[in-house]
Amino acid sequence: MNLFGARQKQLLSFLTANAERETLDYVLQGMKEVLGDEMPEEDAVRAYLQDPDEPISLSTEQQIVALDKLLECAEVNLRTLCDLIRYQQLKDARVVNSVEEFLRLVRPDAARDIQEEDAD
């Protein structure tokens, strides 16, 4: 394998590990908010998310919350991806020239919130 191929594989491995960590953090944070004192150990949640068919120590409620938070995270990521594609299409068509214009066009309420935060 050439050097470029090896570095590309290494980058992909890093990005995958980073995405898995971000997803696990999102799920754990959401589970803590919902479960409070009934929060399982991080290793148990990780094992469950990596292979939900294997026997695990999570209760049914903990499994439901973990999957709900995992699906919520996937929904957020899908929405972000769709917005990025939509932005690129509109920019290529010269409908918008900046992210700010895109936000004003697609999400006027979100754009107003951002402007108010910037003003503070």
pTM: predicted TM-score of the whole model, two decimal places: 0.75
Proportion of the chain above pLDDT 70, given as a percent:
90
Task: Write down the pLDDT at residue 6.
Answer: 83
pLDDT score for 117: 67
Q: pLDDT tens digits, residue range 49-102? A: 999 888 888 999 999 999 999 999 999 999 999 999 999 999 999 999 998 899
User: Mean pLDDT across the stretch 16-42?
Assistant: 95
C-alpha closest to that of 24 among 73, 62, 57, 60: 73
- The one-letter code for the residue type at 53 is D
* H runs (alpha helix) in 3-119: 3-35, 42-50, 60-92, 99-106, 108-119
Nearest partner of 100 among 82, 118, 85, judged by Cα: 118
Gap between the Cα atoms of 112 and 117, Å rounded = 9
